[in-house]
């Protein structure tokens, strides 16, 4: 019983400016369900990415059944019996269940053609092993999410799985489907498979896990038997730390309400529902919650990027039931999106153009021609004020560091002279020094009377910068914490209310 | 040791900056090298004003198509309908410019003032562009498919309109539009210069033009920045359509006729030319200067090979290779850094 299915020993991984994994040791026994817990950014996914060879660890060894291993991607790992069941499914929806399971290693007959009969038979056997009732000829895309997931597990089993990693597997399942998934997991356990179970949902952990390992700030806090733990103890293990990051003093006068959201619901019933709040001038309102809490969806709807089913948005006293980004900008909103590469930068344009893009309309002469001189002067002024480090204003933005790209994007929005700035993960992927600079910029903005709505997954940031914190859990607002009540424990409690 | 290193770095950085410069001006360098090569091979004969003038006239109509599709490719789109849209426009325009006493004229017995054929051709192009733009922007069709469909529609309309006959016997006033010249400069060249300046102003000095680059570079970010992506996409195809309309008018005016073979294959020539001119298929990159250089580079290659009496079969071959090489380097240059 002393042998481990998987051992990750002294794994260290460093990103520019961040120590993502600090000497992490993680051991999993066969025939156990081992939960891996931690806040967003604690290092769980980085650790798993090192396991699958998506990241190369800087130091440390990985042993699979006692033998040193290095995988080069998930296909490679799958061959060795280590598989990952993702939050997002990665199958080919237009092909059958059998095709999907045997993709790339289809059985052939003696003529070298596909042996459909064997394929269907093997699939049927396999599905029986995971107690799945699905026709192998069924089109994958036509199955429910939970059945598709089960098919992925079946696929893992077909590779003689030794370790199966499940990353938030229940995030889109109903209660009944969760029950079925747990049955499959227990089944795997009885076949001596090690299951690494990553989830934020406390209740599930106590239901299914045998062992729990907790990570925090890139370090392994410890590994416990599930019977040694309680809900509260687990939370305190996950958050229990003093904030090491420093934040500037946020001194501002809280003024009148400038943004009022009432009973806002998304088109998609699984997204945010019935959210109401008020944002005041000179205030930073933090928005906290776990992955999947629908925070980004909410703020993008307020900016008009996503549609709204019902509800009302009031900006500076004006009412809107339908918004577009253009309308939002014209009414004093600005939006720094979460995905800087995907919806922030124009990679092949220079700093000036990237900065000016949202306010070109304000810089035209009578003939509707752009006033290039003035645009250049203004872009330079904003970027200098934020201390964007760039060789020239003509440098392509893709050649700057993440922190400097972010400053260019903040400049873009400051140039529109907004009253309200929505910042979705304002310091994601930015090194520590630049983070502090961004915090200082934010503090100065609210001092000038602007309001900031800040979505953040980083607990210290949320606590250090916000006047109040609104917490979402599974699309519902579970509370707004006033400055005195903003603690990690309170936020975590509200963020996990429904789990 | 340390000094040695810095020297090495200096050399490396000079080399790197030279390469950077070269890659920035590839199209121009290629163009100049081609001219030099040609003048050496023909001992200067190819570069007489008369020859250059012919080359310019030859390529001018294509330049309009290139300006149009160049803008479209900047928004990360494509247009396959160019050839047949130009063909349709040239036929429509020509039908209003036929001699009234010509018995097979489409509007036999009628004579129209000069502005009618010009306007008809340009409006037809604009409408087709609007149609393409609507399909791409609001119909959400991939540009390749949308314009593949409209290409066939344009061809069909042309055949129906002309009953597959040649639209000939055009009046002299109409032919004079393109056949005259102002001093040493042929009219056609003047038109190209005017169109290039208009497109240049649009792309460089208006919000609209900047939006095109933004949409091609990152449509999501463009939307977040308050750009009406759908409207702008529809407009870019419409502008291109208007340019194709002008090309159609000028082509029938220059040839003195229009038929179903007019401008066939022009889409590929135009796309190839702007690609050679540095307009990237990955969107968001390209200049008017580059587009024009691209057109004349392709023209120069054709013309040079003809001048050197190289079999036209080989010309086709060489052209194909040049397009592939141009796109190959383009893809390397702008390949997303993974």
How many whole angstroms separate alpha carbon A410 and alpha carbon A142? 43
Nearest CA in chain A to B220: A343
Give a yes or no: residue B80 inside a domain.
Answer: yes
A329, A349, A372: residue with CB nearest B213: A349
Contact between A434 and A465 under an 8 Å Cβ cutoff? The reply is no
Q: Calculate how close chain A gets to B22, using CA atoms only, in Å.
A: 17
Q: Calculate how close chain A gets to B224, using CA atoms only, in Å.
A: 6
Domain count, chain B: 1
Give a yes or no: residue B7 inside a domain.
Answer: no
Residue-level pLDDT at B172? 94
Residue B3 has pLDDT above 50, yes or no: no
Judge: B210–A412 Cβ closer than 8 Å, yes or no. Answer: no
Nearest CA in chain A to B216: A346
Q: Output the CA angle B46-B48-B49, nearest 5 degrees.
A: 130
B201, B211, B223: residue with CB nearest A305: B223
pLDDT band at B151 (very low <50, low <70, confident <90, very high): very high
Q: Give the structural domain span for B235.
A: 51-264
Chain B residues whose beta carbon lies within 8 Å of the beta carbon of residue A364: 207
Give a yes or no: residue B127 inside a domain.
Answer: yes
Give a yes or no: residue B135 inside a domain.
Answer: yes
Nearest CA in chain A to B224: A325
Nearest CA in chain B to A344: B221
A305, A369, A398: residue with CB nearest B206: A369
Contacts of A311 (CB under 8 A, 6+ apart): A261, A262, A263, A264, A265, A274, A275, A321
Residue-level pLDDT at B19? 66
Q: Considering only A31-35, A390-394, B152-156, B248-252, which range has the smallest mean pLDDT?
A: A390-394
Contact between A260 and A439 under an 8 Å Cβ cutoff? The reply is no
Q: Calculate how close chain B gets to A466, using CA atoms only, in Å.
A: 25
B210, B221, B228: residue with CB nearest A345: B221
Judge: A305–B201 Cβ closer than 8 Å, yes or no. Answer: no
- B44 or A452: whose pLDDT is higher? A452
Q: Which pTM value belongs to this model?
A: 0.79
Give a yes or no: residue B275 inside a domain.
Answer: no
Chain B residues whose beta carbon lies within 8 Å of the beta carbon of residue A325: 223-226
Judge: B214–A347 Cβ closer than 8 Å, yes or no. Answer: no
Percent of chain B with pLDDT over 90: 62
Q: Calculate how close chain A gets to B202, using CA atoms only, in Å.
A: 9
> pLDDT tens digits, chain A, 499 residues: what are they?
458 999 999 999 987 667 889 999 999 999 999 999 887 678 888 899 899 988 889 999 999 998 999 898 888 888 888 988 876 667 888 888 988 888 878 888 888 888 888 889 989 988 888 778 888 898 988 888 788 888 888 888 888 889 999 988 887 777 788 888 898 899 889 989 999 999 877 788 899 999 999 998 889 999 999 999 888 888 788 876 544 457 888 888 899 999 999 999 999 888 999 999 999 999 999 999 987 889 999 999 999 999 899 999 999 999 998 899 999 999 999 999 998 888 999 999 999 999 999 999 999 999 999 999 999 999 999 999 888 888 899 999 988 888 889 999 999 999 999 999 999 999 887 766 678 888 999 999 999 999 999 999 888 889 999 999 999 998 999 999 998 899 988 998 998 887 6
Strand A82-85 to A257-266 pairing: unpaired
| φ/ψ (deg, to 5) at B186 | -65, 145
Give a yes or no: residue B269 inside a domain.
Answer: no
DSSP string, A452-489: EEEE-S-HHHHHHH-SEEEEEETTEEEEEE-GGG--HH
Strand A82-85 to A33-37 pairing: unpaired
Q: Which one-letter DSSP state was computed for residue B162?
A: H
| Token digits of residue A319 | 């009412």
Nearest CA in chain A to B337: A398
Give a yes or no: residue B23 inside a domain.
Answer: no
Give the pLDDT confidence of A134-161 residue by residue, as tens digits.
Answer: 888 989 888 887 888 888 888 888 888 8
B207, B221, B228: residue with CB nearest A346: B221
Burial readout B185-206 (b: 16 or more C-beta within 10 A, e: otherwise): ebbbbebbeebbeebbebbebb
Residue B5 has pLDDT above 60, yes or no: no
How many whole angstroms separate alpha carbon A69 and alpha carbon A476? 43
SS (H, E, C) B96-148: CCECCCCCCCCCCCCCCCCHHHHHHHHHHHHHHHHHHHHHHHCCCCCHHHHHH
Give a yes or no: residue B74 inside a domain.
Answer: yes
Residue-level pLDDT at B307? 82
pLDDT band at B1 (very low <50, low <70, confident <90, very high): very low
Best residue in B219, B221, B222 to probe A by mutation, most A CBs within 10 Å? Answer: B221
Choose the most confident range, by mean pLDDT, from A34-43, A167-176, B252-261, B311-320. Answer: B252-261
Residue-level pLDDT at B21? 67
Contact between A223 and A212 under an 8 Å Cβ cutoff? The reply is yes
Nearest CA in chain B to A305: B224
Q: What is the CA radius of gyration of chain A?
A: 25
Contact between A312 and A264 under an 8 Å Cβ cutoff? The reply is yes
Residue-level pLDDT at B9? 56
Chain A residues whose beta carbon lies within 8 Å of the beta carbon of residue B221: 337, 342-346, 357
Q: Which one-letter DSSP state was computed for residue A244?
A: -
Best residue in B220, B224, B232 to probe A by mutation, most A CBs within 10 Å? Answer: B224
* Chain B interface residues (partner A, CB cutoff 8 A): 201, 205-207, 210-211, 213-214, 217-218, 220-228, 280, 284-285, 334, 337
Contact between A43 and A58 under an 8 Å Cβ cutoff? The reply is no
Q: How many CB pairs under 8 A join A and B?
A: 79
How many whole angstroms separate alpha carbon B179 and alpha carbon B171? 12
Chain B residues whose beta carbon lies within 8 Å of the beta carbon of residue A412: 225
What Cα–Cα distance (Å) separates residue B116 from each residue in A259, B65, B100, B167, B262?
Answer: 56, 22, 14, 16, 20
């Amino acid at each position: 019983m002393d042998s481990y299915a998987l051992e990750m020993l002294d794994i260290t991984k460093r990103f520019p400016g961040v120590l993502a994994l600090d000497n992490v040791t993680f051991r999993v026994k066969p025939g156990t369900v081992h939960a891996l817990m931690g806040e967003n950014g604690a290092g769980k996914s980085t650790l798993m990415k090192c396991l699958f060879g998506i990241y190369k660890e800087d130091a440390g060894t990985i042993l699979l059944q006692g033998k040193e291993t290095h995988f080069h991607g998930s296909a490679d790992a799958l061959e060795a019996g280590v598989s990952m069941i993702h939050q997002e499914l990665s199958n080919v929806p237009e092909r059958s269940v059998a095709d999907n399971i045997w993709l790339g290693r289809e059985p052939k007959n003696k003529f070298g053609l596909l042996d459909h009969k064997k394929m269907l038979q093997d699939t049927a056997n396999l599905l029986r092993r995971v107690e799945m009732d699905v026709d192998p000829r069924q089109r994958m895309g036509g199955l429910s999410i939970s059945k598709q997931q089960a098919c992925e597990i079946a696929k893992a089993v077909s590779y003689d799985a030794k370790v199966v990693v499940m990353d938030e597997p229940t995030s889109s399942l109903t209660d009944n489907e969760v029950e079925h998934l747990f049955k499959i997991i227990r089944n795997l356990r009885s076949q001596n498979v090690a299951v690494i179970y990553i989830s934020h949902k406390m209740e599930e952990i106590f239901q299914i896990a045998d062992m729990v390992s907790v990570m925090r700030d890139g370090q392994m806090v410890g590994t416990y038997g599930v019977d040694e733990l309680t809900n509260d103890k687990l939370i305190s293990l996950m958050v229990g730390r003093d904030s090491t990051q420093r934040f500037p003093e946020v001194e501002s006068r809280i003024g009148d309400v400038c943004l009022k959201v009432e009973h806002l619901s998304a088109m998609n019933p699984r997204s945010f529902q019935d959210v109401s709040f008020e944002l005041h001038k000179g205030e930073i309102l933090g928005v906290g919650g776990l992955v999947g809490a629908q925070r980004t969806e909410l703020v993008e709807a307020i900016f008009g990027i996503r549609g709204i089913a019902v509800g009302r948005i009031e900006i500076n006293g004006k009412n809107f039931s339908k918004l577009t980004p253009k309308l939002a900008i014209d009414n004093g909103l600005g939006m720094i999106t979460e995905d800087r590469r995907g919806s922030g930068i124009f990679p092949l344009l220079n700093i000036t153009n990237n900065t000016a893009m949202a306010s070109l309309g304000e810089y035209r002469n009578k003939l509707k021609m752009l006033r290039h001189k003035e645009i250049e002067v203004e872009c330079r002024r904003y970027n200098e004020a934020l201390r964007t480090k760039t060789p020239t204003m003509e440098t392509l933005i893709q050649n700057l560091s993440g922190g400097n790209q972010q400053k260019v994007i903040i400049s873009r929005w400051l140039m529109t002279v907004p009253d309200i700035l929505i910042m979705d993960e304002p310091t994601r992927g930015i090194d520590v020094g630049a983070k502090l600079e961004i915090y200082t910029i934010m503090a100065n903005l609210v001092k000038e009377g602007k309001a900031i709505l800040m979505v953040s997954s980083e607990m210290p940031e949320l606590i250090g910068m916000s006047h109040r914190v609104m917490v979402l859990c599974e699309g519902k607002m579970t509370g707004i914490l006033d400055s005195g009540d903003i603690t990690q424990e309170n936020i975590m409690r509200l963020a996990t209310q429904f789990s | 040791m340390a000094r040695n290193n810095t020297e090495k770095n200096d050399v490396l950085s000079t080399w790197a900056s030279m390469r950077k410069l070269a890659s920035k001006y590839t199209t121009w360098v290629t163009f100049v090298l081609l001219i030099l090569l040609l003048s050496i091979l023909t001992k200067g004969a190819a570069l007489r004003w008369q020859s250059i003038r012919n080359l310019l006239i030859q390529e001018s109509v294509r330049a309009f198509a290139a300006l149009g599709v160049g803008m479209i490719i900047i928004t990360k789109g494509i247009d396959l309908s160019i050839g047949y849209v130009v063909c349709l426009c040239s036929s429509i325009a020509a039908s209003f410019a036929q001699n009234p006493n010509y018995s097979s004229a489409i509007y036999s017995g009628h004579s129209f003032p000069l502005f009618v054929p010009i306007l008809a051709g340009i409006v037809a192009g604009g409408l087709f562009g609007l149609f393409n733009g609507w399909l791409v922007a609001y119909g959400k069709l991939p540009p390749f498919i949308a314009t593949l469909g409209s290409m066939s529609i344009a061809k069909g309309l042309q055949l129906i309109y002309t009953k597959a006959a040649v639209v000939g016997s055009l009046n002299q006033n109409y032919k004079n539009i393109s056949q005259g010249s102002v001093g040493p400069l042929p009219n056609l060249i003047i038109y190209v210069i005017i169109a290039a300046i208009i497109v240049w102003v649009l792309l460089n000095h208006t919000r609209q033009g900047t939006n095109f680059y933004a949409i091609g570079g990152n449509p999501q970010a463009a939307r977040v920045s308050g750009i009406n992506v759908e409207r702008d996409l529809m407009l870019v195809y419409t502008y291109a359509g208007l340019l194709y309309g002008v090309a159609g008018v000028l082509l029938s005016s220059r040839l003195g006729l229009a038929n179903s073979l007019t401008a066939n294959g022009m889409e590929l020539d135009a796309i190839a030319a702007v690609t050679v001119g540095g307009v990237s298929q990955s969107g968001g990159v390209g200049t008017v200067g580059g587009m024009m250089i691209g057109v004349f580079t392709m023209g120069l290659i054709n013309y040079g090979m003809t001048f050197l009496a190289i079999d036209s079969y080989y010309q086709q071959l060489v052209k194909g290779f040049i397009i592939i090489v141009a796109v190959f380097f383009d893809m390397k240059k702008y390949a997303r850094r993974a």
